Amino acid sequence: MSETTAAKIPVTVLTGYLGAGKTTLLNRILSENHGKKYAVIVNEFGEIGIDNDLIIGADEEVFEMNNGCVCCTVRGDLVRILDGLMKRKGKFDAIILETTGLADPAPVAQTFFVDEDVQLHTRLDAVVTVADAKWLSERLKDAPEAKNQIAFADVIVLNKIDLVSKPELAEVEARIRAINPYAKLHRTERAQVKLSDVLEQGAFDLDRILEIEPEFLEAGDAHDHDHHGHDHHHGHDHGGVKHYHDEDMQSLSLRTDKALDPTTFLPWLQGLVAAEGGKMLRSKGIVSFVNDAERYVFQGVHMMLEGDHQRPWKDGEKRESRLVFIGRDLPEQAIRDGFANVIPA
Amino acid sequence: MSDFDPLQEQASIVSVTDRVRPVTIDGAVVAVHFLGDKAAFVGAEENVWLVDELGQRAVAVHNGGILCTAADDQRLLIGGDDGKLVELNRNGDVTLLATDAKRRWIDNVALHPDGAVAWSAGKTAFVRSAKGEVKSLDVPSTVGGVAFAPKGLRLGIAHYNGVTLWFPNMAAKPEVLEWAGSHLAVTFSPDNKFLVTAMHEPALHGWRLADSKHMRMTGYPARVRSVSWSAGGKGLATSGADSVIVWPFASKDGPMGKEPGMLAPLKAKVTMVACHPKQDILACGYSDGTILMVRMTDGAEILVRANKGEPVTALAWNAKGTLLAFADQTGDAGLLEI
């Protein structure tokens, strides 16, 4: 699959709650001198003042797939637009899709998983979520869309940090990490992020998924280093569910250094996402299998899961399996027990 | 891609490849139609190439991508992402028929024998009568396909969760045929008894118009992109599998409870089908570039083009059934005189 990836046109999904700064970021991407041409899919014309790029209006039409699963949805308008844009392949290098502030990123991501024609010609590069440092904590309490956008993000642009104090910033970052520990996070004012930090991320590319996330699942450990002077959390559960009392969304991470057996691990994983698909927003993992020289990588959106061998384990590389699940009201103990059951004795 | 070579594996297959006149189109071809004896190869962007024995010439029809086409023997309708609907006639004259007020993409087009045309942009379907009067109808979601019924001025409009049947000249409320899912291309059977849609999922759905009875036509490994009624409308040939799937429509129940015919199996997916206008013969193109002619009565095959690796994206007969035109996604094309 990696051979064809290069020829596919990358699509960056730009999301974020109303007023977070999506359009500011989009304007920067389009006006900066980067020598690339973008096709831009937006909901509202006129918001962005550019002339030369290919701009298409979208409807955000969400279709249920007829497999009896209500969480399996695709963006019908996106299928249509991407199909049409492929006629003009060669006129642009990449596609940027700006969603409305209230949009759920799941149907967008799933479109790239399930639609054969979309898969053939394009690849989802990353979901980039712009978050408002000042108001995100409030939105996480009252707006499920804002939570979904954080949960789905591969890259989070935490904007307007000039409007908050240091403790407020730490608080909002902790909230983000409680939901999504593996997204790359950039702190910005006026969406002044390096474009190389948001574009060409390859976050949905199984071959690159972990190359660009060297600290995959390390984030939870990493920020403990700031805790000098705080109470020590002896015995606190590394990689466990971190709850805020008002949060129904959380991440759960698992790891083991025992090589797993694909004949028991994969059915468990598939069963888990099938059973919890509605609540399971995203899943990602890197797996070390018994007698397997290559790393196995998977990722999923709701019930949809894809996985493949990625590359050989490097000499001296720690062979361990690391998984993360992000979802709503996930049955943590049952998942931990299930995982424990598939770890060979 | 398969390295299957029908010439070697099926030594008995008859070939007319040496009678094909090669045509080279500058760019991807998304459709081909005949205007009389001129083949009109529709490019992915901007141009249509008119080709006959005297040569070929490009005609600029759009300022941008070409999204949809429909043709009869006289004219070719073309909708583009520049929001324009244009008509090309046999002489190569281009007429602008409509420009979308909001510059939306023209996603679908259809032609009526009396001169009326239909098109859609977003959720709105438009009909322009032969006299030039334009009427429009909004449906619940983006239009996936439009088709005129063979009798009267009636338009079938496919969309999410069904098809709306609209008489543009009548005040009556449009009738809606419901079926969950996203409906794309829509076609009426030539006898006006059945309506069939190709769905977003790899399936067809049909209705018997007399009683709205459903017909599910499933089992495809890929989405059905190309459908064609056989001469007289007895069968509906379809792409989407590794053989041509032909659904029987000769009886009053259509394909209900019947198995479809499966013709010309190959180790590649059928991408285009085009039934001969007068005889029980069809042409089919595959994802590996193969093109065959198949006799529908016994499945006998004639090789028109050997597998060359690029998917066939355009296939059409002229109205008399004496010429077959084809092209692939790189613009490698050909004309065959029968």
A119-171 confidence digits (pLDDT tens)? 999 999 999 999 999 999 889 888 888 999 999 999 999 999 999 999 999 99
- Considering chain B, what is the average pLDDT of its residues? 94
Residue type, B16: V
The separation between CA B99 and the C-alpha centre of its own chain, rounded to angstroms, equals 23
Where does the pLDDT of residue A230 fall: very low under 50, low under 70, confident under 90, or very high at 90 and above?
A: very low
- The fraction of chain B above a pLDDT of 90, given in percent, is 92
Name the residue of chain B whose CA is nearest to A75's CA: B182
Buried b (16+ CB within 10 A) or exposed e, B24-40: ebebbbbbbbbbbbbbb
> Are B28 and A87 a contacting pair at CB < 8 A?
yes
pLDDT of residue A55: 83
pLDDT at A216 over 70: no
Q: Does residue B311 sit at the A interface (CB-CB below 8 Å)? A: no
Token pair listed for A244: 């805020």
pTM of the model: 0.89
Q: Alpha helices of chain A — where are they, by DSSP H? A: 2-5, 22-31, 76-85, 105-114, 116-121, 136-142, 144-152, 166-179, 219-222, 262-276, 332-342
> Are A59 and B122 a contacting pair at CB < 8 A?
yes
pLDDT of residue A45: 60
Please give the angle made by the CA atoms of A191, A196 and A198, to the nearest 5 degrees. Answer: 55
CA separation, residue B178 to residues A108, B7, B16, B182, B213 (Å): 25, 46, 45, 11, 11
Q: Does residue B105 sit at the A interface (CB-CB below 8 Å)? A: yes
Token pair listed for B285: 């193109």
Q: Does residue B81 sit at the A interface (CB-CB below 8 Å)? A: yes
Q: Does residue B179 sit at the A interface (CB-CB below 8 Å)? A: no
- Please tell me the least confidently modeled range out of A54-68, A145-159, B60-74, B241-255: A54-68
Token pair listed for A262: 């694909």
> B171 near A109, Cβ under 8 Å?
no
pLDDT of residue B173: 94
Beta bridge partners of B65: B45
Q: What is the mean pLDDT of residues A84-95?
A: 91
pLDDT of residue A12: 95
Helix, strand or coil for residue A122?
A: strand
Q: What is the mean pLDDT of residues B318-327?
A: 97
pLDDT at A201 over 60: yes
State how far the Cα of B131 lies from the Cα of B126, in Å rounded to an integer: 14
Beta bridge partners of B14: B302
Q: Which residues of B touch A116 (CB under 8 A)?
A: 222-223
CA separation, residue B142 to residues A145, A188, B146, B332, B334 (Å): 24, 38, 11, 33, 35
Helix, strand or coil for residue B279?
A: coil
How far does B45 lie from chain A, in Å, by closest CA?
A: 7
pLDDT at B134 over 90: yes
Q: What is the mean pLDDT of residues B129-134?
A: 94
- Give the best residue of B123, B139, B200, B217 to mutate against chain A (max A CB count within 10 A): B200
How far does B108 lie from chain A, in Å, by closest CA?
A: 11
DSSP assignment of B239-260: -SSSSEEEEE-SSTTTTTT-PP
Residues with Cβ within 8 Å of A53's Cβ and at least 6 positions away in sequence, in order, are A30, A37, A38, A39, A40, A92
Q: Which residues of B touch A88 (CB under 8 A)?
A: 44-45, 64-65, 81
Helix, strand or coil for residue A177?
A: helix
CA separation, residue A150 to residues A29, A203, B221, B280 (Å): 21, 15, 35, 58
> A204 near A123, Cβ under 8 Å?
yes
pLDDT at A61 over 50: yes
> Are B201 and A116 a contacting pair at CB < 8 A?
no
pLDDT of residue B92: 96
Token pair listed for B63: 């300022």
- Comparing CA positions, the residue from A149, A156, A151 lying closest to residue A198 is A156
| Chain A residues in contact with chain B using a Cβ-Cβ cutoff of 8 Å | 56-57, 59, 61, 63-66, 74, 76-77, 79-80, 84-85, 87-89, 116-117
How far does B119 lie from chain A, in Å, by closest CA?
A: 16
> Are B122 and A56 a contacting pair at CB < 8 A?
no
Buried b (16+ CB within 10 A) or exposed e, B53-83: eeebebbebbebbbbbbbbeeebbbbbbbbb
- The fraction of chain A above a pLDDT of 70, given in percent, is 83
The separation between CA B94 and the C-alpha centre of its own chain, rounded to angstroms, equals 22
Where does the pLDDT of residue A237 fall: very low under 50, low under 70, confident under 90, or very high at 90 and above?
A: very low
Beta bridge partners of A155: A128, A184
Q: Does residue B28 sit at the A interface (CB-CB below 8 Å)? A: yes
Beta bridge partners of A97: A13, A41
Which ipTM value was assigned to this complex?
Answer: 0.90
Q: Alpha helices of chain B — where are they, by DSSP H? A: 6-9
How many Cβ atoms are within 10 Å of B4's Cβ, its own excluded? 15
pLDDT of residue B108: 98
> B73 near B319, Cβ under 8 Å?
yes
pLDDT of residue B102: 87
> A128 near A13, Cβ under 8 Å?
yes
> Are B141 and A87 a contacting pair at CB < 8 A?
no
